[in-house]
Structures are given as structure tokens and as C-alpha cells.
Amino acid sequence: KNLNGGAAANVAMIGATLGMKTGLISAVGCEFIDSHYHKNMQKLGVDTEALIISQDENTPTAFVMTNNNQDQISYFYWGAGKEFHDSEVPRDKIKEFKAVHLATGDPHFNCKTGIVAKEEERLVSFDPGQDLGMYSPKKLKEVIANVNILFGNHHEIKRIQESMNVDINGLMDLGPEVVLMTCGSKGSIIYSPDEGKIEVESIYRPAVDPTGAGDSYKAGFVSRLIYGASLEEAAKFASSVSSFVVEKQGCQTNMPTFDEAYNRMIDFYK
């Protein structure tokens, strides 16, 4: 199946479904503008004015394979993604939003964007995801220095610590106020200098497809945090959001509304 996705786009689309004003900065091919995917974004109100459009390459595409244990391997066509490196960060567009999420993508562009977002005093979150191997220790440290929240699964956080040669506290000393580690069905762990270690149980649902679960989690977490929720409440809401996404194949085929996600959260964490 050919399904809509992309880490940054997933966050933007799910955030919009939850009722947030969202925008997308991403590199796409010129064929994307007239695509159904772009039209779906516009219907949801996702701001796409800052898209980087390549005239020479097609939109980046991931080929994802998942086994019966929900283990995944991806092959990636970078395509228009090469446009990121030399593109300018749209500072004026960033000023229109409360938060900036740095998803998988070009390390150099993510670094530049993090600097601009921090200068504009926006909440900055970062999820290197499967692109972690593209970051040199130096570049990774530069990006982390400008973020408020560092996301990663338990494998990724461990690799980041090894790359930086630090423990969790040392990692937070490099910049992030919050390190959030997702552990699949085991839930998530939040590390914060102010609140210490917070463990949050995950909402279990039979997983048809885990693709996009992490992106939906980040969208849910940030959406609550910027409106004043505690770290624990934001994580519980994020778990609820992602529990919907895994119920169907595809990243954007079962995106919950705010009420749907909130009600499931309340029912589970009684």
C-alpha cells in the first residue's frame, strides 16, 4: 500500500486533528503540490506555505517492512530532501507558532532551525529517530544544545548517551530540560531536573501497525504541554493518541480528535 506519512508531516497532521494550529517545513517534489496528500493537509488546516519545493527530485519516500513481532526496517528514497542543506530557515513562519518540533531530516537544517527557534523563544523538541546515525557527535551536541525536549526510544537515548559519553543527568546538562524515553508497550520514562524520573504506563491496544506511533506520541505530548499540562499528564495524553494510530495500518488512517484521545486517557488512567 502507498500511505501518507513522513515524521514531520505525521506530527503536523495529528496535531491538526487534535485541534492545534500546525505548519510543516519539509522538502517535497513539485508533484506534491497537486497531490491528494497536500489537499488533505490543507483540509485539516496545516500551513504548508514554508514547504521547500524541488524542481528536480520527487518527494522523499520511505519503504517500511514490519514483521510479526512489530520490528521494522526502512529503506529510504531521499529525493527532494537534498534541498534541505542549503535552504534558509523561515524565521517569520516560526514566529507564528508556539513550538517547533525537529523531526527526522537533514542534520544541518535541523541545527539551523533549532538555533532560530531558540532565538525566537519557542518551545523546541527534537526527535532524531532513525536518522540518528546521520549526526556526528559534534552536530548532535549542537542540536541538543538548543532544544527543550529530547525524544527518543530506549535504543536511541542509549545511543545518544554513548555518543556524548554522558548519563541522563549529563545529557540534560547539555541543553534539554526534559528527556523523554519511550519504551513501547512498557510505557515511557520522563527525566526532568525539577521533577526527577516519571514513569508512565502505556495504553495497550492490539497493534496492527506501529508505524507513526512515535510521531503521534510527540504530537500529543507537545499539544498538551504548551497548554499548561504537567509532564505526566502530557505523557498520558500522548500514550492515548498513539494507541489510536496503531489500531490501523498507516500513520494517518486513524488519527483521533482531542475528545477521543482525552476520553480514552481518562478511562484508562482512572
With 0-12 / 13-18 / 19 or more C-beta atoms within 10 angstroms meaning exposed / middle / buried, residue 174 is: middle
> What contacts 95, CB < 8 A, 6 or more positions away?
120
Structure-block grid coordinates of residue 190: 520522563
Structure-block grid coordinates of residue 178: 526534559
**Cα-Cα-Cα-Cα dihedral sign, residues 204, 14, 24, 235:** negative
β-pair partners for 181: 152, 189
Query: Is 194 designated active site?
Result: no
Choice among 34, 86, 215, 259 that is catalytic = 215
> What contacts 96, CB < 8 A, 6 or more positions away?
23, 47
Q: Which residue stretches of the chain are H helix?
A: 7-17, 36-44, 91-94, 107-119, 137-144, 154-164, 168-173, 213-225, 231-245, 258-268
> What contacts 155, CB < 8 A, 6 or more positions away?
none
Residue whose entry in the numeric block shows the C-alpha cell 545511543: 159
Question: How many CB atoms are closer than 10 A to CB 22?
Answer: 24
Residue whose entry in the numeric block shows the C-alpha cell 514566529: 95
Q: How far apart are CA 229 and CA 206, in angstroms?
A: 28
Residue whose entry in the numeric block shows the C-alpha cell 517569520: 92
Structure-block grid coordinates of residue 158: 542509549
Catalytic residues: 215
